[in-house]
Structure 1
């Protein structure tokens, strides 16, 4: 009988149904798990499920009975994959479950920032409309989406889905080649050209040592003054201090951020500390989280367990 332990069940909303695994098992789920609790809670587990709980070499070396790690997300940076490969621990992740949810969220942010919806909402809250005595008032510029250029960084399933949505609303889409590449693949544009020409940039690439702070002070300075940066990928892709500095000094037009370098973001995070900026829109890592997307994730998570126990592991990383 397999012993399954879900370390952070609350990362899936309670109203989302988790299917029952199709094999004999003992199931134990914890709302959340602190680092010092991981080893104890996995002491008898043969299958561990984690969304964001870190399973590093030190922890895994204390769990000789562990046979599989099911990551209930796409990102794998919280699991030491090299050690798992050495030990023969199967690691599976979730794929292509949010190809509607994430691009729709990113496009929604783009519309909100391009039309300054947040700024107008705050002006109404502050009573500025009443002060004008007019049927409408214009305190922020309003831009259309159609006819503008979207630069996409990351050409996986999410980047491709974002491109499809952007084209549907009349945007020109350019896809960035890898930063530092000396040649361009067919259909790609040099990274520097994307920075310089895009009216908005949307990040959909994984966080790796090569993409850490992919967008920093130099990259923000290379963008057009009205450009919008949208990050629904990973927090570490964008230098948060540099982003706030660029917003405060008008070097870019706006930013929408769904992911942070530390989550939940502490009070001293520069984005939270400047959340009153009218051209900064923050959401708490929920771009992936439509009900339909999360149900797809839950179904695939259990399907990954079933496949592993059946001797045909899927979605291995």
Structure 2
């Protein structure tokens, strides 16, 4: 019977289906086991949180597939996996709607000062200074999308439904693909809101830093639901403190599971106290509906590979490998 290792909590419906494929061992909960405890026997890894390094994969002679619970795969060495004959898959598009809605949850939270107003009310202050809670409307504003792939293209019509103008930039496309596409500099200069939708790659590391922020409108809002490393957190913190940025909503951090007292590593100011910053703990793609869709997509990949078939959404091309 195949051994399937699940690194982090997944939807109970998916876990039930997974148990029909083989023995399931969990890396979380009261009966948690470490990967090292089962690495010699594991056939498939259902990878949500955590990392799988080349060394870990090499230590797993029976491993056939690492199925990512999500679209990103920067937490697995997929190239080493390919060399070792192990499939790596992801689940593109399955949490798209959840991420899109979270973008606007963050944007509305910042633009209408929801957190500040809620905190004041919870502290028994009923709008003592109503003017300080004055927000802005989205209608007539310009949203700049950095990254115009699957999620970016689905954020655009929602923004337009709010009455926003949309600009986008993406090296994979030019203006013949969509007239809303412009250069990064043009986008930064014209956008009232900048939302990031790019993978974390060497070319996107610190894509938005002090130089880029300086090119943005005074008081612009920054939204990041992609990966923490695509923004220079210190530069963003400085811009929030100075007022260059009117607000920021981030769902991802450079160091996740970090000290939430200062979620951005800024030594000059208690950033968590900033009223114009909202931080959520990498939950943009996490709704009940998306957890089922994403989970079942990863389940399908594992089921296919365990049967000897190719998975639907591979991110690598493994060399043939024989299994005892």
TM-score over 0.5 for the alignment? yes
Q: CA deviation at 1:313?
A: 1.6
Counterpart check, 1:297 vs 2:294 = yes
Query: Of 147, 159, 169, which aligns to 1:166?
Result: 159
Residue pair 2:18, 2:24 contacting (<8 A) in 1 also: no
The 2-side partners of 1:210 and 1:203 are apart by: 14
Length, aligned pairs only: 306
SS at match of 2:5: strand
Query: Of 177, 193, 197, which aligns to 1:186?
Result: 177
CA offsets per residue over residues 42-91 of structure 1, 9 Å max, x none?
22011122113211112222222211111112111111111111122111
Residue pair 2:72, 2:90 contacting (<8 A) in 1 also: yes
- More deviation, 193-202/263-272: 263-272
Counterpart check, 1:138 vs 2:131 = yes
SS at match of 2:100: helix
CA offsets per residue over residues 152-192 of structure 1, 9 Å max, x none?
1111211111112111111111111339x9x7663221011
SS at match of 2:23: strand
SS at match of 2:299: helix
TM-score w.r.t. length of structure 1: 0.88
The 1-side partners of 2:169 and 2:214 are apart by: 17
SS at match of 1:248: helix
Cα 1:235–1:185 change in 2 (3 A) is: farther
Q: 1:6: which partner in 2?
A: 6
Q: CA deviation at 1:139?
A: 1.3
Cα 1:164–1:43 change in 2 (3 A) is: same
Query: Of 50, 55, 68, which aligns to 1:71?
Result: 68
Structure 2: 5+ residue stretches without partners: 316-324
Cα 1:298–1:53 change in 2 (3 A) is: same
The 2-side partners of 1:138 and 1:172 are apart by: 27
The 1-side partners of 2:220 and 2:127 are apart by: 31
Residue pair 1:19, 1:302 contacting (<8 A) in 2 also: no
Counterpart check, 1:46 vs 2:43 = yes
SS at match of 1:275: helix
SS at match of 2:132: coil
Q: CA deviation at 1:39?
A: 2.8
Q: For 1:154-303, what aligned pairs fall within 5 Å after superposition? A: 154-178=147-171, 186-187=177-178, 188-267=181-260, 268-270=262-264, 273-303=270-300
CA offsets per residue over residues 188-216 of structure 1, 9 Å max, x none?
21011111100101111111111111111
Structure 1: 5+ residue stretches without partners: none
- More deviation, 101-110/137-146: 137-146
The 2-side partners of 1:194 and 1:170 are apart by: 18
RMSD: 2.5
Residue pair 1:5, 1:42 contacting (<8 A) in 2 also: no
Cα 1:16–1:171 change in 2 (3 A) is: farther
